[in-house]
Amino acid sequence: RSVGLIGAPFSKGQARDGVQLGPDLIRTAGLVHRLREQGCEVKDYGNLTFEDVSNDEPIGNTKSPRAVGRANQQLANAVQRVKSDGHTCVMLGGDHSLAIGSIHGHAACGSELSVVWVDAHADINTPLTTPTGNIHGQPMSYLIHELHTKIPVLPDFSWIKPCIAAKDIVYIGLRDVDPGEHYILKHLGIKTFSMTEVDRLGIAKVMEQTCDHIFSKVKKPIHLSYDIDALDPSVTPATGTPVVGGLTYREGVYITEHICQTGLLSAVDIVEVNPKQGRTEEEVRSTVNAAVDLVLSCFGRVREG
């Protein structure tokens, strides 16, 4: 496997400082070395540099629209370059608004994508349904063909073309979905495995049915967007929006092991690691180590040795 690594130290999709420190923390924990140790070729494209945006006033209640729009345009270009260089792209966040650029840039390389979204949250609010105005709760709404007419014009978002079909999305780990999001998920018939399904079916069946769903027609490259808050806060507490009742470490890793063995993983986001949300050094370390292990198991690390 050949991996292209991009750091996106960005935090303006939400309000808590610290998530911009995620990329370098994950690198310092040895991700590149560990990937190479397990036989991956790794090209580290470094961190993107995001210019400050002055007077980035909210539009309606949507916050930092200009900074988020510009950062994601940069990221989209960078991901497109990594893909055209022939790598599987790993994007280290930063907050989950970065999925806009990551998925857009990935989709630009041609074929249609399947999106597996692992998260406590659906991140599918529109600017009109969002309860907070934080764009890290909205990224999917800008990307889905069927929602295009529901998105108001925002400055620095005009470059975004919807690129994902509702039928090509699967959610795993949901346990904190807003009313507007629930309506959208039902209305679009999007496949979801909430924590209830994880409990009812077990993670092996969830992954079996996830693959059945995304491979039901033609097999498409997979974009895995992994919010570290999908895991239980006992495992990954250092994150901005922790929600009790999450995936165990084992379930979290099983997801990535299973996606790896499809041979179709084409890009992965690891987002929302925020060291300033950890109350102790141990909480930060546990969160960062989980993020590293999830990436390693995306690229062939298996627990059997």
Ligand X SMILES: N[C@](CCCC[B-](O)(O)O)(CCN1CCC(O)CC1)C(=O)O
Judged by beta carbon, residue 69 or residue 240, the one nearer ligand X is 240
Q: Before 46, cis peptide (omega within 30)?
A: no
* Residue whose CB is less far from ligand X, 182 or 285: 182
Tokens of 118: 């692992």
Burial of 264 (0-12, 13-18, 19+ CB in 10 A): middle
| Dihedral pair phi/psi, residue 58, rounded to 5° | -60, 150
Helices (H), ranges, the chain: 22-28, 31-37, 65-84, 99-107, 139-143, 179-187, 195-201, 203-214, 249-262, 281-298
Indicate whether 287 belongs to the interface with ligand X (CB under 6 A).
no
Is residue 74 at the binding interface for ligand X, with CB under 6 A as the rule?
no
Q: Which of 70, 96, 104, 106 binds ligand X (CB under 6 A)?
A: 96
Measured from the CB atom, is 40 or 72 closer to ligand X?
A: 72
Instruction: State the nearest-atom distance from the C-beta of 68 to ligand X, in Å.
Output: 12
3-state SS assignment for residue 216: coil
| Window 231-270: residues binding ligand X (CB under 6 A) | 240-241
Q: Which residues contact 64 (CB under 8 A, 6 or more apart)?
A: 12, 13, 53, 56, 58, 135
Between CA 260 and CA 32 the distance in angstroms is 18
- Please select the residue that binds ligand X; options are 9, 65, 137, 233, rule is CB under 6 A: 137
176 or 232, CB closer to ligand X? 176
Contacting range for ligand X; rule: CB under 6 A; set: 76-84, 108-116, 130-138, 203-211: 130-138
28 Cβ contact list (under 8 Å, min separation 6):
none
Q: Which does 257 bind (CB under 5 to 8 A by kind): Mn ion, ligand X, none?
A: none
Taking phi over 0 as left and psi of -120 to 50 as alpha, with beta for the rest, 185 belongs to alpha
**Residue 134 near which of ligand X, Mn ion, none (CB within 5-8 Å, type-dependent):** ligand X
Active-site residues: which are they? 96, 119, 121, 123, 136, 227, 229, 272
Is the Cβ of residue 45 or residue 117 nearer to ligand X in the bound state?
Answer: 117
- With contact defined as beta carbons under 8 Å apart, do 285 and 28 qualify? no
Decide: is 64 part of the binding site for ligand X (CB under 6 A).
no
Binding range to ligand X, per CB under 6 A, among 76-84, 125-133, 142-150, 197-205: 125-133
Question: Applying CB under 6 A, which residues contact ligand X?
Answer: 96, 119, 121, 123, 125, 130-132, 134, 136-137, 176, 178, 227, 229, 240-241, 272
